[in-house]
Amino acid sequence: MLDVGQANELKMALRREGKWTNKKIKMLCEQKGLLTQVLGVIDGFSEIKPLEFVIDCDVNPMIPDGWTIEKHTKGGAFRFAKDRILLHLAKKQKSGTILGHDLHKELEKEPVLNACVLDYLLAHTHLIPEEWKGQTVFFWGTIYRCAGVNLCIRCLCWDDGRWSWHYHWLDGDWSSGSSAAVAQQVALSTCY
């Protein structure tokens, strides 16, 4: 059993790691079998591996009623990690606005993510980076035609205390609050 000194040592270790909240400590203590699994790691019989989130970017994303997909750039299997998505702004967005069609031309050179990633993140909101709150993140890899008339891009935003999607017309102006979700290029290591 833990004595007071060991309990304090454990408390200091949890504080040092920095990510332990009272809620997470309570979950650790209350979830049946979890501490036994941790003991398996310490004893060398188990290992901890992060979950892998793979998004199929080759399927069609959600299509709102009355909309059609004008262009959908397939992206294969995208292995999600928070650091694999960059929020991109064009130079003109940083200093003012840019017309959506001009921005679209600029983004053709970038590995933009499609709306499959948006739909996945909405289904798994715990994966969305906290720093995205207050930003509007657009998924330019899928261009929709809304109500048979206007072209638009769907986006992810924090609204009324929850994550949801909205859209913006391609004919409109795009400001610094309208980032494009771009895949971070992963360098392949070379074996010698």
pLDDT confidence band for 42 (50 / 70 / 90): confident
Look over the chain and give the mean of its residue pLDDT values, rounded to a whole number: 89
For residue 85, report the phi and psi dihedrals to the nearest 5 degrees.
Answer: -115, 120
> Considering the entire predicted model, what is its pTM?
0.77
Place of tokens 């930003």: 135
Helix, strand, or coil here: 97? coil
Neighbours of 140 (CB within 10 A): 26
**Contact by Cβ (8 Å): 114, 142:** yes
Q: Is the pLDDT of residue 94 over 50?
A: yes
- Residue pLDDT, tens place only, 4-13: 888 888 888 8
Residue range 96-151, pLDDT digits in tens: 999 999 999 999 999 999 999 999 999 999 999 999 998 999 999 999 999 878 99
d(CA 71, CA 143): 5
Which one, of 123, 151, 117, lies nearest residue 137 by Cα? 117
Two tokens, residue 136: 């509007």
Q: Which two tokens stand for residue 137?
A: 């993140």
